Amino acid sequence: MIGLTPLPEPFDVRKFARTAQGSLRGDFDLAAFEVAPLPRDVLRMLAVLAHLEGATMAHLRNVLVTPTHKDARVTAFLVSWAFEKFWIADALRAVAAAVPGGELSGGIPGAPPRRGRGPVRRAIVGVVQGRSVVGAHLSLGLVDDWVLRAAYERVAAEAASAALSDVVDRILDLKARHTNFFGDEVQRRLSASKPAARLTRRELRRTALPLGSAVLEPADCAFFARFTFDGERGEALAAAIQRDIRKLPGMNERTSRVVRGAITVGSAS
Amino acid sequence: MAFDIDRYTATSVSVHWDDLDLATFREHPLPERSLRTLRYMADVEYHTVCYTRDLLTTPSHREADVSAFMTMWNREEFWHGEALAAVLAVHDITVDYDALKASRLKLGWKDRLDPIKQSVLGSLVGTDFVAVHMSWGAANEWSAITAYQRMAELEEHPVLAELLRRIARQEARHVAFYTSQARARLAASTKAQKITRFALSRFWAPVGSSISSTDDVRHVMTHLMSGPEGRRAAHRVDESISGLPGLDGLTIVQDALDGLGVPA
């Protein structure tokens, strides 16, 4: 079930920073992947996920040119968040590389295409939007986590590999802390500010999700959507994300529907 | 020598101080002027992530090595802030996220416009501008190492000296990254050399100048870099910077000290 876990206490950013997880390579038995190869589509998903998880610096750029960088608690979180995601991407690449013929080459561009608003536009818009933009950025982080969690669930189910399930479980455990931080902040900020909720509705409708998808080729974006949201299970996951967006303070039916439409483009869901 | 990014990321750790007896500061507290300098240093370290923002608005973020480095670098610098904050805490000086936020809010319009300005400049001169950032980063990291070393020498406090030595050792790896990037990019383009020379001589100011009052900057520079010893240290930083391709003769640190009226 994708959803918010209400926290009794505010998220402890210092504790998160102190316990941030570095390299995961020592935690897995990579030899298992040599003897039991993974399906081709799963390998392609691992490549796509590695790129999405590793695209943190591009996202930080978009976020830090706006007033979000003023919030020291948020930036402190993002520093360790980027660190953990770096090593999650590394683990995904390590798994793929351990599978014979599974190097992550095909389908991913060497230099990412430019899509969406550039930093100058974002900075200018950020000046106008003021501090409401922090809530919008955190909401994007939250929904991004939900979308990736859905993808990981499909990867684990499709691969039917105990070794890969271990890797996915470990990654999802790490990501659960990120989701908790985003969820906690979003609840608080969107309930407290109507402008923040309004801006969030707009940002959710216009931002390409998952967040790193600007670094992917369009064909890989479509593949990601199909793999994750096709079929009965995929449709249920997409519906759950739509429902959870709708439940956030200040969100409406239209926003949740537009996001669902955007993340499932190219899928039958 | 090329910088080994995989080795760097694999060995990047947060600076540790659990084994250091910070309680000794209760018996032997640091003097007021040193605490003011440490506070400045902590602010600068915590603020590193905002400097990343300026780097990221230029074409450099598209390169995987730079991206990997910045991820680790940001985190190491954040922990330098935490380490210095721990020393300040023993002196009953609290550096919490709210206090940092308050000082960032004071930055105002100039700060908001900076990324726009940087990015416009960056896209005008394209990849050559990355050389400016890398050289700028090298100059900042060299200054930081020098500042920590000077602080350790001046205080003669064994626990502080050890902590600063650990921080400086990490900064040395940052220098290695920035100089290897700067050297390669400057050597490859005379246009990059000209732009970098112009930007450093015209705009460079001691690390922290953009986030602190001139009084604070003058205090820290006078504390650490005045007198014959301080000036010798500044001279050494200038020598390192002017050793980069096309930057010979630059004396940006000594010029900055003169500009601030720091006694030689």
Report pLDDT digits (tens) over B200-251.
998 888 988 877 888 999 999 999 999 999 999 999 999 999 999 999 999 9
Residue B14: CB atoms within 10 Å: 19
Residue of chain B nearest A58, judged by CA positions = B61
Distance CA B228, CA B152 (A): 17
Question: Rounded to an integer, what is the distance from CA B146 to the centroid of its chain?
Answer: 10
Of A182, A173, A115, the C-alpha closest to A145 is A182
Q: Does A76 touch chain B (CB under 8 A)?
A: yes
Distance CA A168, CA A162 (A): 10
Residue A121 and residue A66 in contact, taking contact as beta carbons nearer than 8 Å:
no
The better pLDDT of the pair A35, B244 is held by B244
* Confidence at residue A109, expressed as pLDDT on a 0 to 100 scale: 42
In this predicted structure, the answer to whether residue B98 has a pLDDT above a threshold of 80 is no
Distance CA B35, CA B92 (A): 11
Residue B81 and residue B45 in contact, taking contact as beta carbons nearer than 8 Å:
yes
**Chain B residues in contact with A56 (beta carbon < 8 A):** 71
Distance CA B118, CA B186 (A): 19
In this predicted structure, the answer to whether residue A261 has a pLDDT above a threshold of 70 is yes
Counting one residue from A and one from B, how many pairs have CB atoms under 8 Å apart? 103
* Confidence at residue A156, expressed as pLDDT on a 0 to 100 scale: 97
Residue of chain A nearest B68, judged by CA positions = A86
Q: Determine the distance in angstroms separating the CA of A58 from the nearest CA of chain B, rounded to an integer.
A: 7
What is the dihedral angle through the alpha carbons of A239, A86, A29, A146, rounded to the nearest 10 degrees?
Answer: -10
Residue B57 and residue A65 in contact, taking contact as beta carbons nearer than 8 Å:
yes
Q: Which helix (H) or strand (E) holds B177?
A: helix B158-188
Q: How big is chain B, counted in residues?
A: 264
In this predicted structure, the answer to whether residue B50 has a pLDDT above a threshold of 50 is yes
Instruction: Read off the tokens for A190.
Output: 């969107």
Distance CA A156, CA A161 (A): 7
Structural domains in chain A, CATH included, are 33-108+118-257 (1.10.620.20)
Question: Rounded to an integer, what is the distance from CA B244 to the centroid of its chain?
Answer: 18
Residue of chain A nearest B109, judged by CA positions = A127
ipTM of the complex: 0.89
What is the dihedral angle through the alpha carbons of A189, B74, A145, A34, rounded to the nearest 10 degrees?
Answer: -170
Q: Tally the C-alpha atoms within 13 A of residue B95's C-alpha that lie toward its C-beta.
A: 28
CB contact under 8 A, A17 and B78: yes
The better pLDDT of the pair B94, B55 is held by B94
Distance CA A150, CA A146 (A): 6
* Confidence at residue A104, expressed as pLDDT on a 0 to 100 scale: 54
Kindly indicate the confidence band of residue A5, based on its pLDDT and cuts at 50, 70 and 90.
Answer: low
- What HEC string does A3-26 produce? CCCCCCCCCCHHHHHHCCCCCCHH
CB contact under 8 A, A72 and B104: yes
Distance CA A258, CA A203 (A): 11
Rg (CA), chain A: 18
Number of H helices, E strands in chain A: 12, 0
**Chain B residues in contact with A54 (beta carbon < 8 A):** 67
In this predicted structure, the answer to whether residue A247 has a pLDDT above a threshold of 90 is yes
Distance CA A177, CA A21 (A): 11
Best mutation target, B16, B47, B119, to test chain A (most A CBs within 10 A) = B119
In this predicted structure, the answer to whether residue A1 has a pLDDT above a threshold of 50 is no
Q: Tally the C-alpha atoms within 13 A of residue A60's C-alpha that lie toward its C-beta.
A: 32
Distance CA A247, CA A218 (A): 30
A259 to A149, A153, A255, B223: CA distances (angstroms): 16, 19, 6, 56
CB contact under 8 A, A70 and B67: no
CB contact under 8 A, A123 and B50: no
Distance CA B103, CA B262 (A): 25
Is the omega angle on the peptide bond into residue A249 within 30 degrees of 0, that is, cis? Answer: no
* Confidence at residue B129, expressed as pLDDT on a 0 to 100 scale: 78
Kindly indicate the confidence band of residue B113, based on its pLDDT and cuts at 50, 70 and 90.
Answer: low
Residue B147 and residue B165 in contact, taking contact as beta carbons nearer than 8 Å:
no
Distance CA A194, CA A264 (A): 28
In this predicted structure, the answer to whether residue A115 has a pLDDT above a threshold of 50 is no
φ/ψ of residue A265, rounded to 5: -60, 130
Show the DSSP H helices in B91-157 as ranges. 97-105, 108-125, 128-155
In this predicted structure, the answer to whether residue B22 has a pLDDT above a threshold of 80 is yes
- Whether the model clears a pTM of 0.80, i.e. scores above it, the answer is yes
Q: Does A50 touch chain B (CB under 8 A)?
A: no
- What mean pLDDT comes out for the span A69-98? 92
- What mean pLDDT comes out for the span B67-77? 93
Kindly indicate the confidence band of residue B83, based on its pLDDT and cuts at 50, 70 and 90.
Answer: very high
Q: Does A128 touch chain B (CB under 8 A)?
A: no
Write out pLDDT tens, residues B123-156: 656 677 788 888 999 999 999 999 999 999 999 9
Q: What is the DSSP secondary structure assignment for residue A71, as one 8-state letter?
A: -
